[in-house]
Amino acid sequence: MTNAELKSRKDAATPRGVGVMCDFYAERAENAELWDIEGRRFIDFAAGIAVCNTGHRHPKIVAAIRDQLDHFTHTAYQIVPYASYVELAEKINQRAPGDYPKKTAFFTTGAEAVENAIKIARAATGRPGVIAFTGAFHGRTLMGMALTGKVAPYKTGFGPFPSDVFHAPFPNPLHGVTTADSLKAIEFLFKADIDPKRVAAIIFEPVQGEGGFYPAPAEFVRALRKLCNEHGILLIADEVQTGFGRTGKLFAMHHYDVVPDLMTMAKSLAGGMPLSGVVGRADVMDAAAPGGLGGTYAGNPLALAAAHAVLDIIDEERLCERATLLGERIKAKLVALQGDVPQIADVRGPGGMVAVEFCKPGGTEPDAEFTRRVQARALERGLLLLVCGVYSNVVRFLFPLTIQDTVFDEAMAILEDVLKESVAVVV
């Protein structure tokens, strides 16, 4: 079977709304490499959209899943519980930021985690309102889309959305939005749209993912915490993409000197298995009545087994430190190339959550065309890159943190060649 044959079958059998980036079909993968059904090799700097921080098919994860298969695959935790759920919750409670008593509930997808965080916040406060930010991505469910601060392609044609959701601009120095601008916009919301006494939560990403890998400034996070304290609002950190070593800490909130009330997680939590969760203050987490939280597949035992292995791998292989090391290497490479590639307007991101933003030379006008060219040429050379940002002019680098040095160096060489070739086309 060929890639072309499968594409024809895909187009006939699946809807166009499920967008697909690559024109080939995976056959196998190992660590930071994958091969298609025609035997071509690719270096994976997408990692399943930040899901495989521990690489494809890490031996310890594979072994953990196989061992669980010999016991059972499903009982529904709400019907017949199992120890691995409780044990993983204990580990997350211990390692999540904050000195207060915590509790954790597990779900299946990142969008589910976000939905349940909002449910918990509303139950705990008795309030309906939620404030999110422009550029945010919180999922494709109705509440997730309502919270998401990007219309195309996520919201187009899918409204109406849940009410009492409001947006403020996220700090973005490159495009002229300061922390003061963001905070002033929230205060304006309180005057024009919703009484702060009706706001249950403010939800934000410590580093915006789909929005362009913009880190939340420390002073902004402190100000959000202060604002929430003043008005009895809960602060939710969405760590679906930033968690589990990606930013150089187990959780991105460990970079800040304040803590959230609730935190969502998913993606690399289970190394490719579907698992998500919400961790937060015990009194807040207990606000929902029995039966109010859960799901048929929530806390799947195979995924939980994988998650236990993921935490061990992060510790044993020092992946937080490695994220920072590799992130610094790629940032240094990109900064060094700015003289040859004038479209490089900004290089940013903590740890291994690195992005490069492309703008027209000499200014801040987004250059989506150049960005697409870089991505396409990289794919031709066997390097998978993801584009993001409200203007689709940002390339984000989500290499597995377990990537071999030789493979990483190979990817850096391809990236340098591709960037220079793309400039030559423009000239």
DSSP letters along 227-268, please? Answer: HHHHHTPEEEEE-TTTTTTTTSSSSGGGGSSS--SEEEE-GG
For residue 122, the one-letter residue type is: R
CA dist 250 to 161, 179, 306, 409, Å?
33, 25, 16, 25
If we measure between CA atoms, which residue out of 330, 305, 339 comes closest to residue 403? 330
- Cβ-in-10-Å burial (0-12, 13-18, 19+) of 59 comes to exposed
Please answer whether residues 251 and 239 qualify as being in contact, where contact means their C-beta atoms are separated by less than 8 angstroms.
Answer: yes
Task: Decide if pLDDT at 72 tops 70.
Answer: yes
Instruction: Summarize the confidence of residues 355-363 as an average pLDDT.
Output: 95
Whole-number pLDDT of residue 420: 96
Show the tokens assigned to 109: 């997808």
Please give the full DSSP string across 148-168, using - where no structure is assigned.
Answer: -S--TTTTTT-----SSEEEE
Instruction: Summarize the confidence of residues 122-137 as an average pLDDT.
Output: 98
CA dist 263 to 32, 115, 323, Å?
28, 12, 21
Whole-number pLDDT of residue 424: 83
Helical H segments across 59-153, by residue range: 59-69, 83-95, 110-125, 142-147
When computed from its CA atoms, the radius of gyration of the chain, rounded to whole angstroms, is: 21
Instruction: Summarize the confidence of residues 111-135 as an average pLDDT.
Output: 98
Tell me how far apart the alpha carbons of residues 309 and 171 are, in angstroms, rounded to a whole number. Answer: 36
Phi (first) and psi of residue 215, to 5 degrees = -70, 140
* Residue that is written with structure tokens 């930013």 in the block: 247
Q: What is the rounded average pLDDT for all residues in the chain?
A: 97
Task: Decide if pLDDT at 251 tops 90.
Answer: yes
pLDDT tier at 137 (50, 70, 90 boundaries)? Answer: very high
| pTM metric for this prediction | 0.96
Instruction: Summarize the confidence of residues 343-350 as an average pLDDT.
Output: 97
As beta bridge partners, residue 426 has none
Please answer whether residues 219 and 186 qualify as being in contact, where contact means their C-beta atoms are separated by less than 8 angstroms.
Answer: no
CA dist 94 to 53, 88, 255, 279, Å?
21, 10, 17, 10
Please answer whether residues 386 and 214 qualify as being in contact, where contact means their C-beta atoms are separated by less than 8 angstroms.
Answer: no
Task: Decide if pLDDT at 426 tops 80.
Answer: no
- Share of residues in the chain with pLDDT > 70 (%): 100
For the domain with range 3-57+318-426, which CATH number is right: 3.90.1150.10, 3.40.50.970, 2.60.40.1080, 3.40.250.10?
Answer: 3.90.1150.10
Q: Looking at the chain, which residues constitute the CATH 3.40.640.10 domain(s)?
A: 62-316
Show the tokens assigned to 146: 């309502």
Show the tokens assigned to 189: 């919301």
Residues in the chain: 427
Task: Decide if pLDDT at 425 tops 90.
Answer: no
Task: Decide if pLDDT at 179 tops 70.
Answer: yes
Q: Looking at the chain, which residues constitute the CATH 3.90.1150.10 domain(s)?
A: 3-57+318-426
Phi (first) and psi of residue 376, to 5 degrees = -65, -45
Task: Decide if pLDDT at 211 tops 80.
Answer: yes
pLDDT tier at 427 (50, 70, 90 boundaries)? Answer: low
Tell me how far apart the alpha carbons of residues 147 and 306 are, in angstroms, rounded to a whole number. Answer: 30
Which top CATH class is 62-316?
alpha beta
If we measure between CA atoms, which residue out of 260, 237, 282, 278 comes closest to residue 103? 282
Looking at the chain, the number of H-run helices and the number of E-run strands are 13, 15
Q: How far is CA 372 from the centre of its chain?
A: 21
Tell me how far apart the alpha carbons of residues 24 and 22 are, in angstroms, rounded to a whole number. Answer: 6
Tell me how far apart the alpha carbons of residues 300 and 106 are, in angstroms, rounded to a whole number. Answer: 9
Whole-number pLDDT of residue 165: 98
Whole-number pLDDT of residue 42: 98
Express each pLDDT in 270-281 by its tens digit. Answer: 999 999 999 999
Rounded to 5 degrees, what angle do the CA atoms 206, 249, 310 make? 110
